[in-house]
Amino acid sequence: MEVAMTNNQNVIQNFLPPGKKAAICFSMDDVHPGKSSNAYEAGGDLEKGALGLVENLLLRHPELKLTIFLTADWRMVNPFPTYKILSKIPVLRDKIYLAPVMPKGTMQLRKHPEFVEYLKKMPNTEIAFHGLHHVHKGLLTNLEFQKQSFNDFENILAEIEGEFKACGLNFQKGLCPPNWLAPENLINAMVADNFSFLASSRDLFTPVSKDAKSNMSGLKGVSMIYPERIANGKLIHLPANFNATRSIDRAIEIIEHNGLLSIKAHVAKSLAGHVLYDGVDEVYMNYLDTLLTVLKQKYGEQLWFGTMSEIASYASQVELKN
Ligand SMILES: [Zn+2]
């Protein structure tokens, strides 16, 4: 089989199984036990909330697979600083939370067994990492991973994994960092801890092409539509390149380029008054229902639906064979 040429040897353009034209994955961030009676609903309302809406989509499209990026002990209430005066005081502002946070343990997974059991029963769903607390002191409230040391990150990853294990969750060693930021020390800690994939870039607007690079949120310069080897080949990077704000034409272009259509959702529609365009609601799920129906009619069996860990695993083996 002829292997497509690429101008970047780390991009894995030939990541598809035989007979497949393109891959589709679907991931959802910020999942934690928050209910509508808390700061916001993030899955805690179970079938009556966002998880129920997503589950309906999964049942209507049994090929579709979901990767849930789960936070082990969510503490964030507001994604941006609300203590305005403190935010203006240098040095001090870096040492304190500049918005209210929940006490440690409030949203710790093991304290919400019904939520955990619901996750375990979700169809075609895998669990991966989306931070320990999803909050940071200083001005960048919702970027949990910033200037911590390699050892700090090793401890954070171990604490998340320990929480997943304590709950008996079947999880994958893949990570989407809160607000997309994956510093070098984090990536090195992931490699040391045998992670398989990182999902740290989002680009919804750069025109689709074989050489398109992610240039919006998070990691820049990685392929926008293909898996890519990073960290000296020890991790696979998977991009996000599609959500509710984009037209079906963009999805078709990614498929026509034999790429990975990587659809992103966020579990909450609004965080403390900040609306998320790709937040789960009936409108977004209806849109994805339509999108998937159109794509399946057009491409049928040529589409490979995978979880992110399945796609990363296959892509890493393809690369080894070549
Ligand atoms: Zn997040």
Residue 1 pLDDT > 50? no
Residue 224 pLDDT > 80? yes
Q: For residue 135, report the distance from its CA to the centre of ligand 1, in Å.
A: 9
| Best CA proximity match to 57, nearest among 293, 301, 308, 236 | 293
| pLDDT tier for residue 273 given thresholds of 50, 70 and 90 | confident
Q: Residue ranges per domain, the chain?
A: 22-67+108-129+163-321
What is the C-alpha to C-alpha distance for residues 62 and 66, in angstroms, rounded to an integer? Answer: 11
Tens-digit pLDDT profile for residues 35-62: 999 989 999 999 999 999 999 999 999 9
User: Minimum mean pLDDT among 121-125, 128-132, 141-145, 257-261: which range?
Assistant: 141-145
What is the C-alpha to C-alpha distance for residues 61 and 293, in angstroms, rounded to an integer? Answer: 8
Q: For residue 172, report the distance from its CA to the centre of ligand 1, in Å.
A: 17
Q: Which CATH number fits domain 22-67+108-129+163-321: 3.20.20.70, 3.20.110.20, 3.30.9.10, 3.30.390.50?
A: 3.20.110.20
Residue 274 pLDDT > 90? no
Q: For residue 178, report the distance from its CA to the centre of ligand 1, in Å.
A: 4
| pLDDT tier for residue 8 given thresholds of 50, 70 and 90 | confident
Residue 36 is encoded by which pair of tokens? 């509508």
Which residues touch 300 (CB under 8 Å, ≥6 apart)?
Answer: none
pLDDT the model gives residue 309: 98
DSSP H helical ranges for 78-143: 92-95, 113-121
Q: For residue 129, report the distance from its CA to the centre of ligand 1, in Å.
A: 10
**Predicted model pTM:** 0.95
pLDDT the model gives residue 142: 87
Residue 214 pLDDT > 50? yes
Q: For residue 29, report the distance from its CA to the centre of ligand 1, in Å.
A: 5
| pLDDT tier for residue 168 given thresholds of 50, 70 and 90 | very high
Q: For residue 315, report the distance from its CA to the centre of ligand 1, in Å.
A: 25
| pLDDT tier for residue 4 given thresholds of 50, 70 and 90 | very low
